[in-house]
């Protein structure tokens, strides 16, 4: 796996590392130069032998070394003393956490500690293994994550349909004949909730084999330009549009659930629910002509194997849960749910081993309510948009301390300025983050994880969303420096602080999980280790540290595992390490009814909360007023970036990767906006300014502004990002617009007003003094 060479006098070696920078999880082959503590990555290429990515790499992955080696990354912890953050050693930093967190916890109200978990947690080993333990140890109801800025609607719809919020079908990209994309731009994002390295190549392959691609998006994106049919929907118009497609399928007798039919219940209820959403009734709201809606439905029904796939433009919208549900309903009604070439459930190597189908407890939300606005809990979380008010609003149960792991909510969540004020007023905040940025600058302690090259990689989340079952693991490419603390250890030590035992051995956190898991497994008659001695099994685990032993445990008890000898051919960590390019576990296979955990044991196609939300949609359509000239804003992503944290890497800046406001020429002319001029954008939450880019790619009435910008705050240490800070789009929001079923912020399709900012030369000069 790692070959040494001496070229031009410099000592280099090659090593493998799964790319952690987006959901595609490409295998990289990296060149490591230097020696000892000075080793660094000097090049990154696609690993041609990787079982999933087969050599693919995107421009971002190719710059893995530059990102990894960013000199502005923190290498030592920071502790606030006398109002200022200063570098210190790990012992002092953890002591400060124990004191700060301990002080708040000592008052006896677990609600006083909030937790925010950001997106990179799904890209790290530590982020998968420790945050659940941290939340449990804190016993706090105040958990907030990036999910309520993103895919929470998909969890709710999966929870209601299948009884398991983690049951998310993915399009079987390589075998489908027809892909209908709703609000996703994989040519920029590289795919999401669908792990598929070289997504663009897979779309081209679909077209080469005679398949068709349809894209529904208010913006004619690079993905849309590949499509056979492009539908310029009004932002937020997908719920009525897809509802009308369902209506057409029933009205024209085009439904045929196929092999999944026997597992569906509530089909007739869906027919009744959709009956009055005719294409004519929704055309105004979604901005799509009735004939085009009928064509979309007919093409979907006529395609041999088809998949409907929705992403952020279908989730972070006002009817996000309803739209996410409709995506799966369309797949089910056309016989494409759970069939090859349709939308399928991957089976990852660390998932629970399949069990005979059995009714489950189903999925409920609202077991608790948030203190200030009464938002229902969803999957144990409250809306990220409600974090600021939970800190700011006085009274019992107020959040006084925050643990923020891999999150930058000041930029990524609505109403950043309010959140900044709130964070500034906390009694204690600890951030686990490699950067001193807009959010971590408010912390009392910042704990930086090692660079990705010095961290292990396993895709606990994305293997369960991949278009092919496979498993890969990479150990740190470069051994940790002396005194460097792995992110696993950082988080384990936070768990210990939360448990009131800050001095305990961090490995004891993993050992406790291993013991608990084994105790449950040996007591379970369906487990391959039923009746065995747990201490004997624990002794069989391999791995260099607690995190690796937990991975070994999950692999061995998982669907492909060796069951501790029950299947000698099965997976173990040791076996996986012998396959540095990964192990292919085959194409996706049908999994109904085994995935189902609903009370009825069926796919409950028309759950009550969804029916109630359809009534909200009906009211929304009835009350809708056309106001000429009204503008709504949508987001966008750029290939060489990722959310808020890659703007400090010079190689990933410039070109079209800019924070500009894209405006249709008609709107630009009407509003007096010039290409390259400055615009002021106003929303309910505030105003920002950005340069205008006039382009016919956006639908009239729609403007597009990317998120993750706004690096103009004082006290950060990201000089490259701050040199050209861009505007924080989320300042435009006041945090009140949410999809009510999931608590997800409406980040797409919210109203704004746009006006030109006169260039200095255009400002009328002050009247000249009277010539006397």
Minimum CB distance to ligand MGD, residue 171 (Å):
12
Q: Which is nearer to ligand MGD, 331 or 572 (CB)?
A: 331
152 near 166, Cβ under 8 Å?
Answer: no
Minimum CB distance to ligand SF4, residue 19 (Å):
3
Provide the β-strand partners of residue 115: 143, 403
Tokens of 643: 């959310």
Selection from Mo ion, ligand MGD, ligand SF4, none that 486 binds (CB < 5 to 8 A by kind) is none
Please give the C-alpha separations between residue 140 and each of 104, 163, 401, 410, 569, in angstroms, as whole numbers. Answer: 12, 25, 11, 22, 42
Minimum CB distance to Mo ion, residue 643 (Å):
7
Q: Contact between 63 and ligand SF4 (CB under 6 A)?
A: no
The secondary structure of residue 672, as a DSSP letter, is T
Instruction: Determine the straight-line distance between the first and last CA of the chain, rounded to whole angstroms.
Output: 86
Tokens of 112: 């006083």
Chain contacts with Mo ion (rule: CB under 5 A): 150
Minimum CB distance to Mo ion, residue 192 (Å):
7
Tokens of 613: 């939300």
Residues 6+ apart with CB under 8 A from 7: none
Minimum CB distance to ligand MGD, residue 482 (Å):
21
203 near 184, Cβ under 8 Å?
Answer: no
Selection from Mo ion, ligand MGD, ligand SF4, none that 19 binds (CB < 5 to 8 A by kind) is ligand SF4
CB-nearest residue to Mo ion? 150
Q: How many CB atoms are located within 10 Å of the residue 743 CB? A: 29
Q: Is 701 exposed, middle or buried (0-12, 13-18, 19+ CB in 10 A)?
A: middle
Within 13 Å of residue 357, how many CA atoms lie on the same side as its CB? 15
Minimum CB distance to ligand SF4, residue 45 (Å):
10
The secondary structure of residue 679, as a DSSP letter, is E
Q: Contact between 25 and ligand SF4 (CB under 6 A)?
A: yes
Minimum CB distance to Mo ion, residue 730 (Å):
14
Selection from ligand SF4, Mo ion, ligand MGD, none that 581 binds (CB < 5 to 8 A by kind) is none
Q: Contact between 26 and ligand SF4 (CB under 6 A)?
A: yes
Cα 233 to Cα 314: distance, rounded to the nearest angstrom: 11
Q: State the number of binding residues for ligand SF4 (CB under 6 A).
A: 12
Helix (H) or strand (E) holding 14: strand 10-18
Selection from ligand SF4, ligand MGD, Mo ion, none that 311 binds (CB < 5 to 8 A by kind) is ligand MGD
Q: Which is nearer to Mo ion, 189 or 336 (CB)?
A: 189
Selection from Mo ion, ligand SF4, ligand MGD, none that 313 binds (CB < 5 to 8 A by kind) is ligand MGD
Minimum CB distance to ligand MGD, residue 254 (Å):
22
Q: Which is nearer to ligand SF4, 197 or 310 (CB)?
A: 197
Angle at the Cα of 254 from the Cα atoms of 253 and 256, rounded to 5 degrees = 110
Minimum CB distance to ligand SF4, residue 27 (Å):
9
CA 588 and chain centroid, separation: 22
Cα 580 to Cα 576: distance, rounded to the nearest angstrom: 7
Which of these ranges, 57-65, 295-303, 384-392, 741-749, lies near ligand SF4 under the rule CB under 6 A?
57-65
Q: Which is nearer to Mo ion, 150 or 217 (CB)?
A: 150
**Interaction residues for ligand SF4, span 173-192 (CB under 6 A):** 190
CB-nearest residue to ligand SF4? 61
Q: Contact between 61 and ligand SF4 (CB under 6 A)?
A: yes
Alpha-carbon torsion, ordered 415, 420, 425, 426, to 10 deg: 90
Q: Which is nearer to ligand SF4, 61 or 158 (CB)?
A: 61
Minimum CB distance to ligand MGD, residue 747 (Å):
4
Minimum CB distance to ligand SF4, residue 343 (Å):
22
Minimum CB distance to Mo ion, residue 411 (Å):
13
- Interface characters, 196-225, with ligand SF4 (x: CB under 6 A): -x----------------------------
Q: Contact between 57 and ligand SF4 (CB under 6 A)?
A: yes
Q: Is 79 helix (H, G, I), strand (E, B) or coil?
A: strand
Selection from ligand MGD, ligand SF4, Mo ion, none that 120 binds (CB < 5 to 8 A by kind) is ligand MGD
Q: Contact between 541 and ligand SF4 (CB under 6 A)?
A: no
Q: How many CB atoms are located within 10 Å of the residue 723 CB? A: 12
Which of these ranges, 54-62, 391-399, 548-556, 580-588, lies near ligand SF4 under the rule CB under 6 A?
54-62
Out of 32, 41, 52, 58, point to the residue binding ligand SF4 (CB under 6 A): 58
Minimum CB distance to ligand MGD, residue 419 (Å):
11
Selection from ligand SF4, ligand MGD, Mo ion, none that 707 binds (CB < 5 to 8 A by kind) is ligand MGD
Tokens of 270: 């869906």
Provide the β-strand partners of residue 181: 215, 309
Q: Contact between 19 and ligand SF4 (CB under 6 A)?
A: yes
Q: Which is nearer to Mo ion, 150 or 667 (CB)?
A: 150
Q: Contact between 60 and ligand SF4 (CB under 6 A)?
A: yes
CA 348 and chain centroid, separation: 18
Q: Is 657 helix (H, G, I), strand (E, B) or coil?
A: strand
The total number of residues shown for the chain amounts to 772
Nearest to 18 by CA among 477, 651, 553: 477
Which of these ranges, 17-25, 276-284, 319-327, 379-387, lies near ligand SF4 under the rule CB under 6 A?
17-25
Alpha-carbon torsion, ordered 149, 610, 239, 468, to 10 deg: 60
255 near 334, Cβ under 8 Å?
Answer: yes
- Interface characters, 734-753, with ligand SF4 (x: CB under 6 A): --------------------
Tokens of 339: 């069939």
Minimum CB distance to ligand SF4, residue 26 (Å):
3
Minimum CB distance to ligand MGD, residue 702 (Å):
8
The secondary structure of residue 337, as a DSSP letter, is B
Long-range pairs of 100-107 with CB within 8 A, sequence gap ≥ 24: 100/401, 100/427, 100/428, 100/430, 100/444, 100/445, 101/401, 101/403, 101/428, 101/430, 101/497, 101/498, 102/497, 102/500, 102/502, 103/427, 103/428, 104/400, 104/401, 104/427, 104/428, 105/138, 105/498, 105/500
Chain contacts with ligand MGD (rule: CB under 6 A): 22-23, 118-120, 124, 146, 149-150, 182-186, 188-190, 192, 216-219, 221, 233, 235-236, 238, 311-314, 316-317, 405-409, 412, 432-435, 437, 449, 487, 634-639, 641-645, 707-708, 729-730, 747-749
Task: Please report, as ranges, the residues that interact with ligand SF4 according to CB under 6 A.
Answer: 19, 21-22, 24-26, 57-58, 60-61, 190, 197
């Amino acid at each position: 796996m790692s070959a040494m060479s001496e070229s031009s006098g410099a000592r280099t070696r090659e090593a493998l590392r799964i790319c952690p920078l987006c959901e595609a999880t490409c295998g990289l082959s990296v060149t490591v130069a230097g020696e000892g503590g000075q080793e660094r990555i000097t090049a990154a290429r696609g690993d041609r032998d990787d079982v999933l990515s087969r050599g693919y790499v995107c421009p971002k992955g190719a710059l893995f070394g530059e990102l990894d080696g960013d000199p502005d990354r923190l290498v030592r912890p920071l502790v606030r003393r006398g109002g200022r953050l200063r570098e210190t050693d790990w012992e002092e930093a953890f002591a400060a956490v124990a004191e700060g967190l301990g002080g708040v916890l000592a008052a006896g109200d677990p609600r006083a500690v909030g937790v925010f978990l950001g997106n990179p947690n799904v890209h790290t080993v530590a982020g998968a293994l420790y945050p659940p333990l941290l939340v449990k140890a804190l016993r706090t109801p105040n958990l907030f994550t990036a999910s309520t800025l993103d895919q929470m609607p998909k969890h709710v719809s999966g929870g209601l349909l299948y009884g398991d919020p983690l049951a998310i079908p993915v399009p079987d990209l390589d075998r489908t004949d027809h892909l209908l994309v709703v609000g996703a731009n994989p040519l920029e994002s590289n795919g999401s909730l669908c792990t598929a390295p070289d997504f663009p190549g897979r779309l081209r392959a679909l077209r080469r084999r005679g398949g068709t691609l349809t894209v529904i998006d208010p913006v004619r994106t690079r993905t849309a330009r590949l499509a056979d049919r492009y539908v310029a929907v009004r932002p937020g118009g997908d719920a009525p549009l897809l509802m009308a497609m369902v209506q057409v399928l029933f009205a024209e007798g085009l439904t045929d659930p196929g092999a999944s039919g026997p597992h569906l219940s509530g089909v007739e209820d869906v027919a009744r629910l959709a009956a009055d959403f005719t294409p004519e009734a929704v055309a105004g709201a979604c901005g799509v002509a009735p004939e085009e809606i009928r064509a979309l439905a007919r093409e979907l029904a006529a395609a041999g194997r088809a998949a409907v796939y929705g992403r952020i433009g279908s989730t972070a919208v006002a009817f996000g849960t309803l739209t996410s549900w409709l995506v799966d309903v369309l797949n089910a009604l056309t016989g494409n749910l759970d069939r090859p070439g349709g939308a399928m459930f991957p089976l990852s190597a660390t998932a629970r081993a399949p069990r005979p189908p059995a009714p489950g407890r189903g999925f409920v939300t609202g077991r608790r309510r948030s203190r200030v606005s009464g938002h229902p809990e969803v999957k144990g979380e409250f809306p990220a948009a409600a974090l600021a008010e939970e800190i700011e609003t006085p009274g019992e149960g107020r959040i006084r301390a925050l643990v923020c792991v891999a999150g930058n909510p000041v930029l990524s969540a609505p109403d950043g300025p309010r959140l900044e004020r709130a964070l500034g007023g906390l009694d204690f905040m600890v951030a686990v983050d490699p950067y001193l940025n807009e959010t971590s600058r408010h912390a009392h302690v910042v704990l930086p994880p090692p660079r990705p090259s010095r961290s292990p990689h396993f895709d606990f989340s994305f293997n369960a969303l991949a278009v092919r079952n496979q498993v890969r693991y990479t150990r740190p490419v470069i051994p940790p420096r002396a005194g460097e603390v792995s992110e696993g250890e950082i988080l384990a030590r936070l768990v210990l602080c939360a448990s009131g035992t800050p001095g305990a051995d961090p490995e004891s956190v993993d050992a406790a999980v291993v013991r608990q898991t084994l105790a449950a497994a040996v007591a379970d008659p369906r487990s391959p280790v039923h009746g065995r001695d747990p201490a004997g099994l624990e002794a069989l685990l391999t791995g260099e540290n607690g995190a690796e032993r937990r991975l070994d445990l999950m692999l061995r008890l998982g669907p492909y595992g060796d069951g501790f000898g029950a299947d000698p051919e099965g997976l173990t960590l040791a076996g996986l390490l012998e396959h540095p390019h990964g192990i292919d576990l085959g194409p996706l296979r049908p999994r109904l009814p085994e995935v189902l955990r609903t009370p009825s044991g069926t796919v409950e196609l028309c759950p009550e909360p969804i029916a109630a939300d359809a009534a909200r949609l009906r009211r929304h359509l009835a009350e809708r007023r056309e106001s000429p000239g009204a503008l709504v804003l949508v987001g966008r992503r750029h290939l060489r970036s990722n959310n808020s944290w890659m703007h400090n890497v010079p190689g990933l800046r410039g070109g079209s990767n800019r924070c500009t406001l894209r405006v249709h020429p008609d709107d630009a002319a009407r509003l007096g906006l010039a290409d390259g001029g400055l615009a002021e954008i106003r929303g309910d939450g505030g105003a920002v300014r950005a340069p205008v880019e006039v382009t016919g790619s956006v639908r009239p009435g729609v403007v597009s502004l990317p998120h993750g910008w706004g690096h103009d705050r004082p006290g950060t240490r990201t000089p490259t990002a701050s040199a050209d800070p861009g505007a924080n789009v989320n300042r435009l929001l006041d945090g009140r617009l949410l999809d009510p079923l999931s608590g997800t912020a409406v980040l797409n399709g919210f109203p704004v007003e746009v006006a030109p900012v006169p260039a200095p030369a255009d400002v009328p000069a002050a009247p000249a003094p009277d010539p006397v």
